[in-house]
Structure 1
Amino acid sequence: MDENEFIIEFIAMGNSVKVTCIDLKSGREVSTIGPANLSKDQLSKAAINKMHYVLKKEQS
């Protein structure tokens, strides 16, 4: 389904988690911050969705 590959990094900061997503193909990096009580899957999904948004915006 998704041909992009990403590296996902989680950094806990108190009650929040900074999630960094790096697209291996383009080298583009985006970050998002979410509450620490969300699962890593939910946080990853938010960062990947942001990455797709940024990549699509750059293509137009």
Structure 2
Amino acid sequence: MLSQSYSSGEETATADHMNVTLNRIVSWGSKWEVKFAPNKTQMTIISWSRTSLQLSLERQAIQ
């Protein structure tokens, strides 16, 4: 599980940070021959805001 808290107005910076972290996880997996399934990866946002984060894993959008 990967989690991140952020304030209103920080959505873009948070998405950038999370995508960098996801890329590091994929790189680690490549090194250790671990494969991830982007189509089985999901995110849950708990927020009062309706703004969604745009995250991706191996160039596929996370739902």
Q: What is the TM-score normalised by the length of structure 2? A: 0.40
Higher relative contact order (CA 8 A, sep 6+): 2
Structure richer in strand, relative to its length: 1
Choose 1 or 2 for highest CA Rg. Answer: 2
